[in-house]
Amino acid sequence: MAGDQGFVALVLHSHLPFIRHPEHEDFLEERWLFEALTETYLPLVERFQRLANDKVPFRITMSFTPTLLAMLSDWLLQARYVRHLEKLIELSEKEIWRTRWQPPFHRLALLYHHRFTTARQLFVDAYRRNLLTPFRELADGGVLEPIASCATHGFLPLMDYQRAAVRAQMRVGAQAFEQAFGRRPVGMWLPECGYHPEHDAFLKELGVRYFLTDAHGVLFASPRPKYGVYAPVYCRSGVAAFGRDLESSKSVWSAVEGYPGDFDYREFYRDAGFELDYDYVRPYVNPDGTRVNTGIKYHRITGKTDDKQPYDPDRALEKASQHAGNFMFNRERQVEFIRTVMDRPPLVVSPYDTELFGHWWFEGPDWLEFLIRKAHFDQRTFTLISPSDYLARYPKNQVTQPCMSSWGYQGYNEVWLNGSNDWTYRHLHKMVDRMVDTARAHPHATGLRQRALNQMARELLLAQSSDWAFILKTGTHTGYAYRRVRDHLARFSHLYDSLQRDALDEAWLAEVEAADNCFPFLDYRVYAPTNGG
Amino acid sequence: MKDPWWIYAYWEVQPQVERQVRSQLSPEETIGLRSVLRVYDVTDRRFPDQPAHAWFDIALSGLAANWYIHADAPNRSFLVDIGLLTRSGRFLTLARSNRVTTPRFGPSEVLDEEWMVADDDYWKLFGITAGVGMGSSPTALRALLERGLASQALFSPGLFSPVKAPQGRGFWLRVDAELIVHGATDPKASVKIQEQPVALRPDGTFSVRMHLPDGTQTIPVEAVSADRQDARAITTTVTRQTDGQPAAARERSESRAGSRDRAKAARKSPL
């Protein structure tokens, strides 16, 4: 049975940028959602449900960004995902034949076929194409603590100069959450853990009780936090900040020292889409003929070699179980040690990107399931908890001011502000100025003007996704990120100009509304907070 | 603001603003006039009503429209003017920035009486957080942590970088062989290849594609009519033999070029 010497909060942050291109029959970047569905979201849901059915008590916290929520409930993307799965099933059927004389690969082809057909069965039959349904059930069942995130995953510290933009990202995030889960968010994931002092006041307005920061956000808080990151602190607004524990993060995150780099685990970079005869895989890759990942991968990491050995799922599963045991053991020792310094049970907060599990780390969902089972059955030191449950148990916490910080490289803003993407900010800032001015100038817009103003707000939010700056920095898919910033900026500016000249083009507006159709509830007045609305 | 040490400024000066400011200059003053950024430390000051603690200038070159400023001072507030500096030291402001405050880097010296913590205990917790072990000495930890805490590469890879550059170096060759077995029969018949059922297309044709390993494969194909009255069987035998130097035979063992196969695959269509 789990114990009461301390607590561990596992937090998974789920996010994808809004990518939906009805103007194209097939669109490469839409695959990001499809891959995440097949490899991460569906396997996690399946495992959480199994744990719940087996009556294993646990708590896990998951954040959902509004862009992801919008895509999960979008009929076009749902239909395209089913089409994508059908193609994968077809390919895996051919693979079963192709590998007949290669037993280790044949077995994997059967496994993939099973995974894809199971995914289709769950997605289409069990969840009626809407993954929010099982997530809501898990939340209602008490195992999942869902939390909100900002509208389009805008990186808030770089918006601080225009707090109306910060506030709008948060408010739209809370609204989207409420629409999806039918409840107010108790916590909010700040994109990239990007916190800037005083932004917590906007969370307070929304009734949000906590957010997460990276370790140094809390450790460097002033006054000095008595318990370091092993207890939350309250900002002066009364909103709690939970600091990330780096030790537990490292073992999962780090590609070098972490579990995912184990030689028995599946190799991410050897994919059938890149390896097989071109004519054969051609129907299953990008329509323009570019090879892409299919998700069918036959090798294990093996070692620092290109001579990769066939993947052995049994061995990998055994390793995932061992690693779950190791993680649990380390948390027990950690909790015991911290207990000697603290006069109350410590809380270890371990946040991860959801997509790490399954997509990057194929065995991640298995590891998580093993960990949850072991944490319940095999130890008596700590209990899995959600941040809000912890606050309910320990409502008295130190008041201090956390520091500006993020969980990006070097801990601050440099990933989203450097030579590759700094040019975006002059445009984004200008857009916010115009948005705020226009919203104030039209406090009661109706009809076409109202639609135009709402769409302006939508375009602004979409342009603010931290993803574009991130992609520009990392150097792959930069053309796409550039195009997205430019498109949203152009649409916004066109609407702004048309509105100024009182020359709105209804047909054009309708087209843009149909393309960038996220957040149907969006009210542009979020940028003109006059009457608290 | 980029981090505790660097701040970022961008600007756009309207020509009429610049003209107007320049009109305040005497003709001598326009000689040797420079564009500069003036960076004020305005920590806890209501600038410009209260004077800045200090300021420094950065000479701008050419057509710069943005600048990364090495303020090198965590936990301080800054404000930046872009302006014109005469040789005699007169400064005329063209535009003024918003105020930014760099984050503190390191633990706060402010302690809370109600939540007092012994220095040793704080550093112990700090050490565990950073995963540098439990029970290292506080002094050793401090140096290590302040440098390393924020820079651990524990950040998201995102979903966006699916292709890794190939690691192999130099010239290489990879060869493999696959076999296509195809044929046709009555569309209503059922067909098995190596005892595995195969789906027929509406016109009665079928095909399967298989990876062909070295060695000999015997491939029986059987068709049975829908009424189970008729049956036909055709068997094909295929041999593949691969010769070639394995990559490891070369002296540079890191040259992982895949197997340099020369495949001799006898391809036969059985029907």
Residue in B with minimal Cα distance to A478: B160
Query: Once rounded to an integer, what is the mean pLDDT over residues A267-284?
Result: 92
Classify domain A418-527 at the CATH topology level. immunoglobulin/albumin-binding domain-like (1.20.1430)
State pLDDT tens for residues A438-449: 999 999 999 999
pLDDT at A488: 98
Contact A307/B98, CB-based, under 8 Å? no
CA-closest candidate to residue A519, choices A472, A444, A456: A456
Q: Please report residues of A whose CB lies closer than 8 A to that of B126.
A: 219, 228
pLDDT at B244: 78
Lowest mean pLDDT among A166-175, A266-275, A280-289, B154-163: B154-163
State pLDDT tens for residues B33-73: 999 999 999 999 999 999 999 999 999 987 889 999 999 99
- List Cβ neighbours of B94 (8 Å cut-off, separation of 6 or more): B11, B13, B17, B18, B21, B81, B82, B83, B84
Structure tokens at A7: 């607590």
Answer yes or no: is pLDDT of A245 > 60: yes
Q: Share the mean pLDDT of chain A.
A: 94
Residue in A with minimal Cα distance to B100: A161
Contact A223/B10, CB-based, under 8 Å? no
Dist CA B163 CA B171 (whole Å): 21
Answer yes or no: is pLDDT of A457 > 60: yes
Dist CA A129 CA A296 (whole Å): 23
State pLDDT tens for residues A249-264: 888 877 667 899 999 9
Task: Say which residue, B120 or A31, is predicted with more confidence.
Answer: A31
**Which residues, numbered 298 to 327 in chain A, qualify as contacts with chain B under a Cβ-Cβ cut-off of 8 Å?**
305-307
Q: Please report residues of B whose CB lies closer than 8 A to that of A229.
A: 125, 129
- List Cβ neighbours of A393 (8 Å cut-off, separation of 6 or more): none
3-state SS of chain B?
Answer: CCCCCEEEEECCCCHHHHHHHHCCCCCHHHCCCEEEEEEEECCCCCCCCCCCCEEEEEECCCCCCEEEEECCCCCCEEEEEEEEECCCCCEEEEEECCCEECCCCCCCCCCCCCCCCCHHHHHHHHHHHCCCCCCCCHHHHHHHHHHHHHHCCCCCCCCCCCCCCCCCCCCCCCCCCEEEEEEECCCCCEEEECCEEECCCCCCEEEEEEECCCEEEEEEEEEECCCCCCEEEEEEEEEEEEECCCHHHCCCCCCCCCCCCEEEECCCCCC
The ipTM value here is: 0.89
Contact A222/B117, CB-based, under 8 Å? no
Question: At residue A61, what are phi and psi to the nearest 5 degrees?
Answer: -110, 135
Contact B159/A99, CB-based, under 8 Å? no
Q: Where in chain A is the domain with CATH 1.20.1430.10?
A: 418-527
Instruction: Please give, rounded to a whole number of angstroms, the shortest distance from the CA of B31 to a CA of chain A.
Output: 32
Q: Please report residues of A whose CB lies closer than 8 A to that of B106.
A: 220
Query: Once rounded to an integer, what is the mean pLDDT over residues A298-325?
Result: 95
Task: Say which residue, A97 or B172, is predicted with more confidence.
Answer: A97
pLDDT at B223: 96
Q: Please report residues of B whose CB lies closer than 8 A to that of A360.
A: 157
pLDDT at A213: 96
The residue among B113, B125, B169, B212 with the most chain A CBs within 10 A of its CB, best to mutate, is B125
Dist CA A121 CA B20 (whole Å): 71
Instruction: Please give, rounded to a whole number of angstroms, the shortest distance from the CA of A442 to a CA of chain B.
Output: 27
Contact B125/A338, CB-based, under 8 Å? yes
Q: Please report residues of A whose CB lies closer than 8 A to that of B1.
A: 157-158, 404, 412-413, 417
Q: How confident is the model at residue B145 (pLDDT cuts 50, 70, 90)?
A: low
Answer yes or no: is pLDDT of A105 > 50: yes
Instruction: Look up the pTM and report it.
Output: 0.91
Structure tokens at A436: 């705020």
Residue A82: Cβ within 10 Å count: 16
Instruction: Please give, rounded to a whole number of angstroms, the shortest distance from the CA of A17 to a CA of chain B.
Output: 10
Dist CA A385 CA A116 (whole Å): 33
pLDDT at B155: 52
Contact B126/A417, CB-based, under 8 Å? no
Answer yes or no: is pLDDT of A84 > 90: yes
Element (H, E) at A283: none
- List Cβ neighbours of B113 (8 Å cut-off, separation of 6 or more): none
Residue A298: Cβ within 10 Å count: 23
Contact A403/B103, CB-based, under 8 Å? yes
- Any CB–CB contact under 8 A between A290 and chain B? no
State pLDDT tens for residues B245-262: 655 444 433 333 333 333
Q: How confident is the model at residue A193 (pLDDT cuts 50, 70, 90)?
A: very high
Q: How confident is the model at residue B130 (pLDDT cuts 50, 70, 90)?
A: low
**Which residues, numbered 490 to 529 in chain A, qualify as contacts with chain B under a Cβ-Cβ cut-off of 8 Å?**
none
Q: How confident is the model at residue B142 (pLDDT cuts 50, 70, 90)?
A: low
Q: CATH number of the domain at A29-410, out of 3.10.20.70, 3.20.110.10, 3.40.50.20, 2.30.40.10?
A: 3.20.110.10
Lowest mean pLDDT among A131-135, A187-191, A270-274, B156-160: B156-160
The residue among A108, A403, A424 with the most chain B CBs within 10 A of its CB, best to mutate, is A403
Dist CA A6 CA A334 (whole Å): 9
pLDDT at B156: 52
pLDDT at B248: 46
Tell how strand A210-213 and strand A240-243 pair up: parallel
Peptide bond into B48 cis (omega under 30): yes
**Between B3, B115, B158, which is nearest A226 by CB?**
B115
pLDDT at B63: 81
Structure tokens at A291: 């090879």
- Any CB–CB contact under 8 A between A32 and chain B? yes
pLDDT at B143: 53
CA-closest candidate to residue A158, choices A195, A105, A111, A183: A195
Residue in A with minimal Cα distance to B3: A412
Answer yes or no: is pLDDT of B169 > 80: no
Answer yes or no: is pLDDT of A138 > 50: yes
- Any CB–CB contact under 8 A between A404 and chain B? yes
State pLDDT tens for residues A195-244: 999 999 999 999 999 999 999 999 999 999 999 999 999 999 999 999 99
Q: Please report residues of B whose CB lies closer than 8 A to that of A355.
A: 158-159
Q: Share the mean pLDDT of chain B.
A: 80
Residue B93, beta-bridge partner list: B83
What dihedral angle (degrees, nearest 10) is formed by the CA atoms of A129, A132, A138, A142? Answer: -160
**Which residues, numbered 406 to 445 in chain A, qualify as contacts with chain B under a Cβ-Cβ cut-off of 8 Å?**
407-415, 417-418, 422, 425-426
Domains of chain B as residue ranges with CATH: 6-101 (2.60.40), 178-265 (2.60.40)
Dist CA B84 CA B69 (whole Å): 18
Answer yes or no: is pLDDT of A87 > 70: yes
Q: Number of Cβ pairs closer than 8 Å across A and B?
A: 212
Dist CA B232 CA A455 (whole Å): 67
Element (H, E) at A488: helix A478-500
Contact A280/B209, CB-based, under 8 Å? yes
Q: Where in chain A is the domain with CATH 3.20.110.10?
A: 29-410
Q: Please report residues of A whose CB lies closer than 8 A to that of B155.
A: 253, 407-409, 415
Dist CA A259 CA A178 (whole Å): 36
State pLDDT tens for residues A508-527: 999 999 999 999 999 999 99
The residue among A105, A242, A410, A467 with the most chain B CBs within 10 A of its CB, best to mutate, is A410
First to last CA, chain B: 72
Contact B160/A405, CB-based, under 8 Å? no
pLDDT-above-70 percentage for chain B: 75
